[in-house]
Structure 1
Amino acid sequence: MGEQITTAGRGGAEATGRPFSPATRMLVGLAAAVVLFAGVWFARDLLAPAALAAVVVIIAYPVRFPLERRGWPVWLASTAVIVVAYLILAILAVLLVYAIGQFVRMLPDLASELSSTASGVDDWLTGLGLSIPDAQTASDWLDPAAIGSAALGVADQVLGWATAFFFVLAYVIFMTVDGARFRAAAAGASARIFGTATADGIARRYFTGVRRYYVVNATFGAIVAVLDGLLLWAVGVPIPIVWAILAFVTNFIPNIGFVIGLIPPAILALVVGGWPLMLAVIAIYCIINVVLQVLVQPKFVSDAVGLSLTLTFFSVVFWAFVIGPIGAILSVPLSLLVRALFFEHDRGAVTIRRLSGEGEGSLRAGG
């Protein structure tokens, strides 16, 4: 009897110890991912500033290496990184504040033109067969009060970002100061889990990919902003520098940034110059932005980070939903982080990594 019980116990342990089927593992993984991202969504007000600070530190961190090679003490090299990071944040903040200020200041001067344009859109839509309520609803976006309210809403949002900006500044200091120690500790911990070579390779590819991504985006964004601003100035669209700044910022939003940057100047062109000027603005953006941002830039981005176009577009929507508007700008680094943490060290995840767009060389190096 005792032997039977022992045998039964062994059989039960063996049955319990059998590995899960691939489908079961996938379901468990998806369930864990849902729980994880739900937690990120609930903590988005805390995590979004930390994510922005981490990306800025990653971009500025290479400044310390040549300084340390020249004999600078660690604290002074860290200070240099903090200064560069603060300069990046300051430039972006000044550009956004200036653009919003110029736009709000312009609205009172265009109140009459906005009202007349709204009336003209009402008449045009009514002539197409739409009922008067439908036409009025469709033209409400040209009402001066509605545009002013939207501008104030943007200003309120900026104030909220300014509050989070304080935490970003603090995070930058802490992350930079702890950078060297974190590198050594993270390398040691990950080496115990993945192996030293693999851990170092994953970290190096991730940080390098993030830097290359923002260098590519900043370069193309500057080119697009200059060309858009000059051509908008040439055709007579007011405050072209504001729309150039908007084009530069929205260039950091993959795939849909072009549309976001086009809508405001196109509406303003309709108000000040009618349909011909609006169509001219749309044509300008289609020629410049579509060629550079849609046809040329994705190739450089894909080479820099190894993400497929489909996954890049999905990342924008997903991360904007999870952590808010800043998620659209940080979507590619966040997706790269997920791939680095959960898939790059797994030799069985080659198919997933290949579908994500990772190149063959990276696949062989990582797994």
Structure 2
Amino acid sequence: MVVLLTIAGAVITLAGIRAVSSIFGPVVLALVLVIAVAPVRGWLAARGAPVWVLVAVPLLIVLTVLLGMVTVLAVSVAQLASIIPTYSDRFTALTDQAREFAARFGVGTEQVNQALAAFDPSQVFQLVQTLFGGLLSIGSSLFLIAVLLLAMCLDAGAFGRIVSSGSDRRPALVNALAEFGRRTRRYLVVSTVFGMLTATLDVGALILLDVPLPLLWGVLALITIYIPNIGFIIGLVPPALLGLLDGGVRTMVLVIIAYSAINVVTQSFILPKFLGDAVGLSTTVTLLSLIVWTFVLGPLGAILAIPLSLLTRALLIDSDPSATWAAALISLEEPEDARGPEKAAGKTAEGGDDAEPGPR
């Protein structure tokens, strides 16, 4: 009964959020952005800055980033829409070459035609335009986001004091909210730094390979770093396909090799070492959260999947002292009370043989 009621409540809640996604999405985005620039506010407050500076500086930082991102996306999407029709003849030539190549190995023309009919490059670019179009809708909600940011920046100081005052009555909830802010901020900052590094290297590789619209694909690489599990594939397919249409198979292969080398090194070997246990979600939970929040909020939900999942965890699990088993279940980290004394000691000792690494 508990499981059924929980599922029913989740379905009703998500359906309600989806119905007001045009409002809920900007609200969550504004909240995440305010959390991201909270250290700037703290740094200014520690130096005795007046209240209007504490509000204006973080607000200007966020609005500058949003306006710059929307401008780059708008220009790039317009260029992409104008360049796609010019490759129709090139695609026809590639299909003819594919038929000739398949005929050498005894593959029938009908089978090749069916395979080519299922593969349409315009559909791939249409998906990219849909993703960017969903993000460009932020531009239409920019006024709402700016108002929300201003309100949240004005209320940030008082909100923090009120939440801290409840530590005596609801210590678990206060700690859960503080942990949510810390994890979200660390996730955003580290992901942004490595996303900019990855995007810069990707743009440089695309320029060397003479692939059209390298800035657009660099922005796509930066955005997709916030999309867990499948972000790398989303960022790779469009430039690789455009490299095939513009420079042939050799260019496509070189794009795939360059992207794989850059992203595997940065996202698989370096990024997890800096993120550590900031996310605290297992791979399965991360993938499910990506599917759910994308379904509920669209493209913006794919980018906010991790922060939204962290907020859900803070409110429903971390705020309940008796739900340590649920926290361990979604992070696949054995709870402290389930470990033996030797493992618990090994967990706290640095470099101990029994130390168990946290989730990446």
**TM-score class, shorter:** 0.7 to 0.9
Count how many residue pairs are aligned between Structure 1 and Structure 2.
Answer: 335
1:232 matched residue in structure 2: 206
The verdict on how the C-alpha distance between 1:121 and 1:167 changes in structure 2, with shifts beyond 3 A counting, is farther
The verdict on how the C-alpha distance between 1:236 and 1:347 changes in structure 2, with shifts beyond 3 A counting, is same
Stretch moving more, 33-42 or 127-136: 127-136
Distance 1:336 1:152 in 2: 29
- Asked if structure 2 preserves the Cα contact closer than 8 Å seen for 1:225 and 1:244, the reply is yes
Q: How far does the alpha carbon of each residue in 1:72-101 deviate from its partner, in whole angstroms, 9 at most, with x for none?
A: 222331122211221221232233223323
1:268 matched residue in structure 2: 242
- Corresponding residue to 2:329 among 355, 361, 365: 355
**Unpaired runs of at least 5, structure 2:** 338-343, 345-360
The residue type paired with residue 203 of structure 2 is: G
The verdict on how the C-alpha distance between 1:289 and 1:119 changes in structure 2, with shifts beyond 3 A counting, is same
Distance 1:34 1:149 in 2: 30
- Asked if structure 2 preserves the Cα contact closer than 8 Å seen for 1:237 and 1:268, the reply is yes
- Corresponding residue to 1:253 among 227, 249, 253: 227
Identity of aligned residues (%): 34
The verdict on how the C-alpha distance between 1:139 and 1:116 changes in structure 2, with shifts beyond 3 A counting, is farther
Shift of 1:274: 1.7
Distance 2:274 2:125 in 1: 39
The residue type paired with residue 137 of structure 1 is: A
Q: How far does the alpha carbon of each residue in 1:306-343 deviate from its partner, in whole angstroms, 9 at most, with x for none?
A: 22222222221121112111111111111110111111
The verdict on how the C-alpha distance between 1:159 and 1:55 changes in structure 2, with shifts beyond 3 A counting, is closer
Distance 1:279 1:235 in 2: 11
The residue type paired with residue 29 of structure 1 is: T
Distance 1:219 1:124 in 2: 44
Matched, 1:223 2:197: yes
The verdict on how the C-alpha distance between 1:358 and 1:90 changes in structure 2, with shifts beyond 3 A counting, is farther
- Asked if structure 1 preserves the Cα contact closer than 8 Å seen for 2:328 and 2:335, the reply is no
The residue type paired with residue 58 of structure 1 is: I
The residue type paired with residue 33 of structure 2 is: V
Three-state SS of the structure 2 residue aligned to 1:101 is helix
- Corresponding residue to 1:288 among 262, 277, 283: 262
- Asked if structure 1 preserves the Cα contact closer than 8 Å seen for 2:135 and 2:300, the reply is no
- Asked if structure 1 preserves the Cα contact closer than 8 Å seen for 2:192 and 2:222, the reply is yes
- Corresponding residue to 1:72 among 49, 59, 69: 49
2:290 matched residue in structure 1: 316
2:26 matched residue in structure 1: 49
2:76 matched residue in structure 1: 99
- Higher helix proportion, which one? 1
- Asked if structure 2 preserves the Cα contact closer than 8 Å seen for 1:237 and 1:272, the reply is yes
- Corresponding residue to 1:338 among 293, 306, 312: 312
Stretch moving more, 33-42 or 131-140: 131-140
The verdict on how the C-alpha distance between 1:219 and 1:238 changes in structure 2, with shifts beyond 3 A counting, is same
CA RMSD for the aligned pairs?
A: 3.0
Q: How far does the alpha carbon of each residue in 1:135-182 deviate from its partner, in whole angstroms, 9 at most, with x for none?
A: 45224335xxx6886677667545533222332222111111122222
Three-state SS of the structure 2 residue aligned to 1:353 is helix
The residue type paired with residue 138 of structure 1 is: A
1:137 matched residue in structure 2: 117
The residue type paired with residue 311 of structure 1 is: V
Matched, 1:85 2:62: yes
2:16 matched residue in structure 1: 39
- Corresponding residue to 1:172 among 139, 149, 168: 149
Distance 2:329 2:256 in 1: 34
Matches within 5 A, 1:96-135: 96-107=73-84, 109-121=86-98, 128-129=107-108, 130-131=110-111, 134-135=114-115
**Unpaired runs of at least 5, structure 1:** 1-23
Stretch moving more, 150-159 or 219-228: 150-159
- Asked if structure 1 preserves the Cα contact closer than 8 Å seen for 2:63 and 2:146, the reply is yes
Distance 1:353 1:56 in 2: 26
Distance 1:48 1:94 in 2: 20
Stretch moving more, 300-309 or 213-222: 300-309
Matched, 1:185 2:159: no
- Corresponding residue to 1:203 among 173, 177, 181: 177
Distance 2:14 2:156 in 1: 26
Shift of 1:121: 4.5
1:30 matched residue in structure 2: 7
Distance 2:141 2:101 in 1: 44
